[in-house]
């Protein structure tokens, strides 16, 4: 391998990138846009569930209970129904996901029997949200119940212990605010870099075929490895700028707490970037049209990264076969690295396993890409 | 052949059911311009690509400067320069950047290529355009740039696939002047062309048809091979001339040219009066009629006719 030829290809490629400002702008703006779209779009927190209330009684106590629902940030009262019919319509039309119905003898039975029930209707279409909504409703009612209990006891002058015998005192580590954004945004950085990185290089060989420059290029003594290195180098620079944009947004715009070191972050990011650039290059070698190569690169990076990297959907909840498939997704390792670096402040030693996996991945892809390129027109 | 720098033996290439090149054999000497002539689809480009080592032959052998191109294409590529039919340089790079790129790929020492490129740019009047993007050059200048790039590493063999297609006549003349000076330096050249007047400038010619070599000789030698003679008729309506004479005895074929028609006959002395009589009988006015030396185009048509009749 001759360094002079690698440099010649890199310089040529860099000149072409610089002389095509439109493509360069796209390469830099797309990650910015994707960070915002995914950063705001993907959130697993459920807040302000649209709520429908039907109060058959209208007493001081029933209003007090409903007040607790509307005061909570988990619910937002959308419909105040006058009859059962309105409740059904609110749920059917999708205006509300949860309805709370208070019976007409609510306070009566509370006073007489010391206990009563209220009805909660949940729209189960989105089972995940429905379960969480019902859980929140139970919590609101439970707090209300224990308050009543306490009140009753105090009124009776009782000295009964009001504390629960065994309680869980949960302390959250690493993501103290339990914000799903804090662990999703680092994953989104991986997603955006996978998509953009593969796109950058997916066109580079196909373009030579389409413009007719490949025939002359393969008639020179240039070696496949030299061609690949020369072509990857300038895109590595562009990709690292993209990585800087994404990581910068994660820390300074989305306020994801950053506990790691910049060195670990840069090292692991450049490793992952190498993998995705090589995937794009491999696609470009295999498919000789720019449109086709770009589509395949998108398909190969976006789908597996979204579904199988564990950036939003936990890998340990997947069926065993699917879990096995995730090991083939390079972003899986980078997502793990990013979450650990950001939230746990992990260093290179703690991340040795994913870093080694990513390195092995990079080596395999580099070898495949270099070997896939044949210097013939057949 | 002794002293040959390019030697092809039994070269064949098949695309599906079609034999694109079928058992081609020839040798090119240093300082020789060897022309490949033939209609579209005759196998000129495929032959060029196999010589350049960018396409593998199915059968046969090629050696360049003693190196087996099939076995060691990368080694052979150091001595060969190939100019594809389609402009292969980077249109978004300047003239200078393109030259530098190819000099680097061939590892030409900096001082050497800079000197050589400067001289070639001067010779082809390209010096003022050094900083211009290749995409903004005219067709003729693009080809001269392509030639400069392919010569920057002083190849011993130059392969030119229809280098002057779409190039204006003046640039074509300049282009050929460069080729002649290369011949003086001992560079062997294989050139394919669709322009038959250009074919006459070659030292030797191979006539290709359907992937096979029909004839291979010097232009003069080929002309000597042509049976019969050529009669040129200058007339305002060449088509009517053709219709009037092509069924006459002794007429092998009629080729329309700009000013009239070329009639290929078995014996000029005997057929000339017959043709003149037939034309006047048909009421066709001719401004001139007489025997001429055949052009390469006449030759090519006549030789292909012979071939077809023999088959």
- Residue B124's SS3 state is coil
Half-sphere exposure (CA, 13 Å, Cβ side) for B255?
19
Those residues with Cβ within 8 angstroms of residue B111's Cβ, 6 or more apart along the chain or in another chain: none
Are B28 and B202 contacting, i.e. CB atoms less than 8 angstroms apart? no
A170 in a structural domain: no
CATH number at residue A96: 3.40.1710.10
pLDDT in tens, A236-259: 999 999 999 999 999 899 888 888
A39 in a structural domain: yes
A271 in a structural domain: yes
Q: Where is pLDDT greater, at A147 or B157?
A: B157
| CA distances in angstroms from B160 to A193, A375, B52, B80, B108, listed in the order given | 44, 19, 10, 11, 21
Is the Cβ pair A213, B90 closer than 8 Å? yes
A237 in a structural domain: yes
Of all residues in chain A, the one with the smallest CA distance to B14 is A378
Query: Where in the sequence is the domain holding A139, given as residue range(s)?
Result: 49-155
Last residue of a domain, one of A139, A155, A171: A155
Residues of A in contact with B107 (CB under 8 A): 2, 4-5, 221
A160 in a structural domain: no
Is residue A72 located within the same domain as residue A39?
A: no
DSSP classification of residue A316: G
Give the confidence band of A234 by pLDDT, cuts at 50, 70, 90.
very high
Residues 197-256 of A with CB under 8 A from B: 211-223
Are A314 and A339 contacting, i.e. CB atoms less than 8 angstroms apart? no
Residue A232 has pLDDT above 60, yes or no: yes
Residue A166 at interface with chain B, using a CB cutoff of 8 Å: no
Those residues with Cβ within 8 angstroms of residue B229's Cβ, 6 or more apart along the chain or in another chain: B264, B265, B266, B267, B268, B291, B294
pLDDT in tens, B254-281: 888 878 888 888 888 888 888 888 888 8
DSSP classification of residue A252: I
The percent of residues in chain A predicted with pLDDT above 70, rounded, is: 93
Is residue A83 located within the same domain as residue A124?
A: yes
- Residue B14's SS3 state is strand
Residue B297, Cβ neighbours under 10 Å: how many?
17
Residue A369 has pLDDT above 70, yes or no: yes
Cα separation, B172 vs B166, whole angstroms? 9
Q: For residue A375, what pLDDT is reported?
A: 81
Residue A70 has pLDDT above 90, yes or no: no
Residue from A33, A32, A16 nearest A24 by CA: A16
Give the confidence band of A171 by pLDDT, cuts at 50, 70, 90.
low
Is residue A55 located within the same domain as residue A119?
A: yes
Is residue A190 located within the same domain as residue A298?
A: yes
DSSP classification of residue B238: H
Is residue A334 located within the same domain as residue A294?
A: yes
Is residue A30 located within the same domain as residue A78?
A: no
The helix or strand, by DSSP H or E, that contains position B77, with its residue range, turns out to be helix B73-77
pLDDT in tens, B284-304: 888 888 888 887 778 777 777
Is residue A186 located within the same domain as residue A108?
A: no
Q: Count of domains in chain A? A: 2
Residue A170 has pLDDT above 80, yes or no: no
Cα separation, B192 vs B177, whole angstroms? 17
Is the Cβ pair B92, A375 closer than 8 Å? no
Those residues with Cβ within 8 angstroms of residue A240's Cβ, 6 or more apart along the chain or in another chain: A269, A270, A273
Give the confidence band of A177 by pLDDT, cuts at 50, 70, 90.
low
Q: For residue A314, what pLDDT is reported?
A: 82
Residue B97 at interface with chain A, using a CB cutoff of 8 Å: yes
Q: For residue A146, what pLDDT is reported?
A: 83
Of all residues in chain A, the one with the smallest CA distance to B87 is A212
Site of tokens 């990013």: A338
Residue B170 has pLDDT above 70, yes or no: yes
What is the pLDDT of chain A when averaged over all its residues? 86
A224 in a structural domain: yes
pLDDT in tens, A104-133: 888 888 888 777 888 888 888 888 788 888
Q: For residue A246, what pLDDT is reported?
A: 92
Are A212 and B84 contacting, i.e. CB atoms less than 8 angstroms apart? yes
Tokens representing A322? 């699917």
Residue A357 CB-density burial (10 A; 0-12 exposed, 13-18 middle, 19+ buried): middle
Alpha-carbon Rg of chain B, whole angstroms? 22
Structural domains in chain B? 6-221 (3.40.50.300), 227-293 (3.30.70)
Q: For residue A73, what pLDDT is reported?
A: 81
Residue A88 has pLDDT above 80, yes or no: yes
Is residue A366 located within the same domain as residue A219?
A: yes
Are B39 and B195 contacting, i.e. CB atoms less than 8 angstroms apart? no
Residue A16 at interface with chain B, using a CB cutoff of 8 Å: yes
Is residue A281 located within the same domain as residue A367?
A: yes
pLDDT in tens, A91-107: 888 888 899 999 988 88
Q: Is the ipTM of this complex over 0.85?
A: no
A124 in a structural domain: yes
Residue B210, Cβ neighbours under 10 Å: how many?
16
Is residue A17 located within the same domain as residue A123?
A: no
Residue B12 has pLDDT above 60, yes or no: yes
Give the confidence band of A164 by pLDDT, cuts at 50, 70, 90.
low
Q: For residue A333, what pLDDT is reported?
A: 92
Of A4, A16, A378, the CB nearest to B92: A16
Of A15, A213, A218, the CB nearest to B97: A15
Extended strands (E) in chain B: 6-15, 18-28, 33-37, 59-64, 67-68, 80-83, 157-161, 188-193, 204-209, 212-217, 229-235, 251-257, 260-265, 286-292
Is residue A58 located within the same domain as residue A36?
A: no
* pTM score: 0.79
Among A32-46, B80-94, B100-114, B160-174, the least confident range: A32-46
Give the confidence band of A178 by pLDDT, cuts at 50, 70, 90.
low
Residue A152 at interface with chain B, using a CB cutoff of 8 Å: no
A140 in a structural domain: yes
Is the Cβ pair A8, B105 closer than 8 Å? yes
Give the confidence band of B215 by pLDDT, cuts at 50, 70, 90.
confident
Q: For residue A11, what pLDDT is reported?
A: 96
Residues of A in contact with B82 (CB under 8 A): 215-216, 219
Burial of A92-130, coded b for 16+ CB within 10 Å and e otherwise, reads eeeebbbbbbbbeebbeebeeeeebebeebbbeeeeebb
Q: For residue B286, what pLDDT is reported?
A: 83
Taking the CA of residue B33 and the nearest CA in chain A, the distance in Å comes to: 20
Of A2, A213, A217, the CB nearest to B107: A2
Residue B107 at interface with chain A, using a CB cutoff of 8 Å: yes
Q: What is the DSSP string of B163-192?
A: TTTT--HHHHHHHHHHHHHHHHTT-EEEEE
Is residue A200 located within the same domain as residue A349?
A: yes
């Amino acid at each position: 391998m001759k360094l002079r030829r690698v440099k010649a290809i890199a310089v040529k490629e860099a000149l072409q990138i610089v002389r095509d400002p439109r493509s360069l702008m796209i390469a830099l703006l797309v990650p910015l846009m994707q960070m915002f779209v995914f950063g705001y779009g993907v959130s697993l927190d459920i807040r302000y569930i649209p709520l429908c209330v039907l109060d058959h009684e209208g007493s001081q106590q029933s209003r007090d209970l409903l007040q607790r629902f509307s005061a909570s940030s988990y619910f937002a009262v959308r419909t105040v129904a006058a009859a059962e019919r309105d409740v059904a319509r609110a749920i059917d039309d999708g205006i509300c996901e949860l309805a709370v119905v208070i019976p007409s003898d609510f306070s009566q039975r509370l006073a007489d029997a010391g206990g009563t029930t209220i009805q909660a209707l949940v729209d189960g279409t989105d089972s995940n949200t429905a379960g969480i909504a019902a859980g929140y409703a139970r919590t609101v009612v439970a707090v209300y119940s224990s308050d009543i209990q306490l009140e009753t006891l105090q009124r009776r002058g009782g000295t009964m212990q009001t504390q629960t015998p065994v309680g869980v005192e949960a302390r959250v580590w690493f993501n103290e605010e339990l914000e799903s954004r804090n662990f999703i945004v680092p994953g989104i950085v991986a997603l955006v870099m996978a998509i953009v990185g593969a796109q950058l290089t997916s066109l580079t060989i196909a373009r030579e075929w389409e413009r007719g420059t490949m025939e002359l290029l393969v008639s020179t003594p240039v070696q496949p490895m030299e061609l690949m290195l020369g072509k990857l180098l300038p895109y590595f620079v562009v990709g690292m700028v993209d990585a800087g944009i994404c990581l910068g947004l994660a820390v300074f715009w989305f306020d994801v707490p950053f506990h790691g070191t910049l060195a670990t972050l840069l090292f692991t990011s450049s490793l992952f970037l190498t993998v995705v650039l090589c995937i794009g290059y491999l696609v470009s070698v295999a498919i000789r049209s720019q449109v086709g190569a770009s589509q395949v690169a998108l398909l190969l990076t976006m789908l597996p990264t979204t579904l199988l990297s564990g950036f939003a959907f936990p890998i340990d909840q997947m069926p065993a076969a699917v879990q096995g498939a995730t090991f083939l997704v390079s972003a899986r390792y980078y997502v793990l690295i990013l979450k650990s670096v950001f939230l746990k402040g992990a260093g290179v030693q703690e991340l040795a396993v994913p870093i080694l996996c990513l390195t092995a991945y990079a080596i395999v892809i580099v070898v495949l890409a270099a070997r896939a390129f044949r210097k013939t027109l057949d | 052949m002794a002293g040959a720098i390019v030697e092809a033996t039994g070269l064949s290439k098949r695309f599906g059911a079609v034999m694109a090149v079928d058992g081609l054999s020839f040798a090119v000497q240093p300082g020789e311009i060897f022309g490949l002539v033939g209609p579209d689809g005759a196998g000129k480009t495929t032959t060029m690509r196999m010589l350049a080592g960018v396409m593998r032959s199915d059968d046969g052998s090629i050696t360049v400067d003693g190196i087996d191109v099939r076995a060691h294409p990368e080694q052979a590529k150091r001595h060969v320069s190939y100019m594809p039919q389609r402009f292969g340089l980077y249109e978004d790079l300047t003239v200078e950047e393109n030259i530098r790129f190819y000099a680097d790929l061939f590892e030409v020492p900096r001082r050497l290529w800079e000197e050589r490129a400067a001289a070639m740019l001067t010779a082809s009047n390209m010096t003022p355009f050094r900083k211009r993007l290749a995409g903004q050059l005219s067709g003729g200048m693009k080809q001269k740039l392509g030639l400069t790039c392919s010569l920057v590493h002083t190849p011993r063999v130059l392969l030119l696939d229809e280098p002057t297609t779409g190039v204006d006549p003046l640039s074509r003349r300049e282009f050929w002047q460069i080729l002649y000076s290369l011949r003086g330096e001992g560079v062997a050249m294989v050139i394919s062309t669709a322009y038959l007047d250009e074919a006459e400038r070659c030292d030797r010619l191979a006539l290709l048809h359907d992937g096979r070599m029909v004839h291979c000789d010097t232009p003069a030698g080929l002309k000597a091979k042509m049976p019969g003679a050529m009669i040129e008729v200058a007339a305002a309506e060449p088509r009517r001339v053709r219709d009037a004479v092509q069924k006459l005895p002794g007429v092998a074929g009629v080729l329309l040219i700009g000013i009239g028609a070329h009639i290929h006959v078995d014996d000029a002395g005997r057929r000339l009066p017959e043709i003149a009589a037939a034309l006047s009988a048909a009421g066709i006015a001719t401004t001139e009629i007489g025997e001429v030396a055949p052009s390469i185009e006449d030759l090519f048509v006549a030789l292909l006719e012979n071939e077809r009749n023999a088959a």
